[in-house]
């Protein structure tokens, strides 16, 4: 037999990711890209990182920073995270925290921990494409976690019976979600926790964009809401996944998980078996930079991204055909457009790239059931005011078939 013939079934379930193929387009000169959900590299705290890495490699640090370390993660970084979590209503200890190589790794481990083939995962229609990619390896069925956001009524179509498996987890990004930009209000978070209790499932709260709120009032994390109900994180079924990718640097691959100790214990064993630990020096450098400038740096990011969001919302108002609607996110990096039912986002992308050189992500990529053909995701994080105005104007032209 050839090797491909003996790949485990989970291998054949993995198909080339749309986002990955799209990222390859971004090198085209002159392209205006609203595609990537990536931070603006001009805003990286690079000088601070240069100083932090130099300190981490000083003679008295190198025996630690270049050596193997514990799977749980660098203790001072976990202590810093304990302090940050307390500020958002999540009292916990370092034993409730695992450092991961980006929150993507947390999603992979949580899929591995909770999902067996045929189990059901509830996800938004649409949801973060990377969560589907991570969970797919464990061969779940998906069912729709239906949340209508931004302070309106909330409902859930669990349909677990339709999918047929036992519901093991509900995954969502509650703040400025990728791809819709929407935020789940407090009423929705309460309803979600009620649903999770009823189903006996875990809640995976992806907080990748949580720090990037530009206006409106902060809603406590789902985990904070559950702790308020139950008195201690040890009784909670919510698992909070944090990330430094949108605030400090994605390239250093640093995220964290906050959960009850039995969950963290299992994840630590998984991490030990899967890659031993996240790079020691990177953890030390991120701790160094975060403990010095995190709040002021996030303030700078908020100012820059808020302006770009405002510019894009205004440009959409001016240039979009009347038949197009979009979300008005209070933070994050994304605006989600719904086109008239007849227009296909993937076809629109092809036309847009060919005729005006504007890139975005067709919404269909974010639907586990491959619906949502008439939606697209725009990111405003990496474009300046002129690019946003010009790009949205050109996109309007393409939509009108000009």
Q: Which residues contact 136 (CB under 8 A, 6 or more apart)?
A: 10, 13, 14
Supply the minimum distance, in Å, between the C-beta of residue 372 and its own copies. 21
Place of tokens 């390239």: 251
Supply the minimum distance, in Å, between the C-beta of residue 133 and its own copies. 4
Supply the minimum distance, in Å, between the C-beta of residue 392 and its own copies. 24
Nearer CB in complex with its own copies: 250/396: 250
Nearer CB in complex with its own copies: 10/400: 10
What is the C-alpha to C-alpha distance for residues 264 and 269, in angstroms, rounded to an integer?
9
Note the residue count of the chain.
402
| Measured CA distances, 358 to 129, 306, 395 (Å) | 21, 21, 7
Residue from 396, 324, 311, 312 nearest 356 by CA = 396
Nearer CB in complex with its own copies: 28/400: 28
Supply the minimum distance, in Å, between the C-beta of residue 182 and its own copies. 23
What is the C-alpha to C-alpha distance for residues 193 and 187, in angstroms, rounded to an integer?
10
Residue 298 contacts residue 247 (beta carbons within 8 Å): yes
Nearer CB in complex with its own copies: 110/315: 110
Nearer CB in complex with its own copies: 114/334: 114
Supply the minimum distance, in Å, between the C-beta of residue 34 and its own copies. 16
Supply the minimum distance, in Å, between the C-beta of residue 380 and its own copies. 17
Nearer CB in complex with its own copies: 207/315: 207
What is the C-alpha to C-alpha distance for residues 358 and 270, in angstroms, rounded to an integer?
42
Supply the minimum distance, in Å, between the C-beta of residue 23 and its own copies. 8
Exposure letters 317-344 (e unless 16+ CB within 10 A, then b):
eebbeeebebbebbbbbbbbbbbeeebb
What is the C-alpha to C-alpha distance for residues 183 and 85, in angstroms, rounded to an integer?
19
What is the C-alpha to C-alpha distance for residues 107 and 225, in angstroms, rounded to an integer?
21
What is the C-alpha to C-alpha distance for residues 357 and 330, in angstroms, rounded to an integer?
28
Nearer CB in complex with its own copies: 112/319: 112
């Amino acid at each position: 037999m050839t090797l491909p013939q003996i790949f485990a079934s989970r291998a054949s379930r993995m198909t080339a990711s749309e986002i990955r193929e799209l990222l390859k387009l971004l090198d085209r000169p002159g392209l205006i890209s609203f595609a990537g959900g990536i931070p603006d590299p001009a805003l990286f705290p690079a000088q601070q990182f240069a100083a932090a890495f130099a300190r981490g490699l000083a003679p008295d640090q190198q025996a630690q920073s270049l050596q193997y370390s514990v799977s749980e993660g660098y203790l001072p970084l976990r202590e810093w995270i304990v302090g940050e979590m307390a500020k958002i209503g999540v009292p916990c200890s370092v034993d409730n925290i695992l450092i991961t190589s980006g929150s993507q790794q947390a999603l992979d481990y949580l899929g591995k921990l909770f999902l067996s083939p045929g189990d059901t995962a509830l996800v938004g229609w649409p949801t973060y494409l990377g969560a589907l990619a991570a969970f797919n390896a464990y061969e779940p069925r998906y069912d729709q976690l239906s949340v209508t956001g931004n302070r309106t009524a909330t409902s859930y179509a669990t349909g677990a019976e339709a999918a047929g498996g036992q519901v093991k987890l509900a995954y969502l990004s509650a703040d400025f979600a990728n791809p819709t930009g929407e935020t789940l209000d407090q009423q929705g978070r309460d309803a979600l926790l009620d649903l999770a209790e009823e189903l006996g499932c875990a809640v995976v709260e992806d907080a990748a964009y949580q720090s990037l709120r530009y206006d409106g009032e902060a809603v406590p994390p789902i985990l904070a809401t559950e702790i308020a109900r139950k008195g201690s994180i040890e009784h909670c079924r919510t698992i909070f996944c944090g990330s430094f990718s949108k605030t400090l640097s994605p390239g250093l691959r640093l995220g964290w998980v906050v959960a009850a100790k039995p969950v963290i214990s299992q994840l630590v064993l998984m991490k030990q078996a899967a890659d031993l630990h996240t790079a020691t020096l990177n953890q030390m450098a991120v701790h160094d930079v975060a403990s010095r400038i995190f709040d002021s740096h996030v303030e700078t990011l908020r100012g820059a991204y808020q302006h770009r969001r405002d510019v894009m919302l205004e440009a959409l108002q001016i240039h979009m055909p009347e038949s197009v609607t979009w979300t008005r996110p209070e933070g994050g990096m994304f605006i989600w457009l719904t086109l008239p039912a007849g227009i296909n986002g993937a076809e629109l992308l092809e036309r847009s790239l060919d005729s005006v050189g504007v890139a975005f992500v067709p919404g269909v990529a974010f639907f586990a059931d491959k619906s949502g053909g008439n939606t697209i995701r725009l990111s405003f994080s990496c474009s300046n005011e002129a690019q946003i105005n010009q790009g949205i104007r050109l996109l309007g032209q393409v939509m009108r078939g000009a």
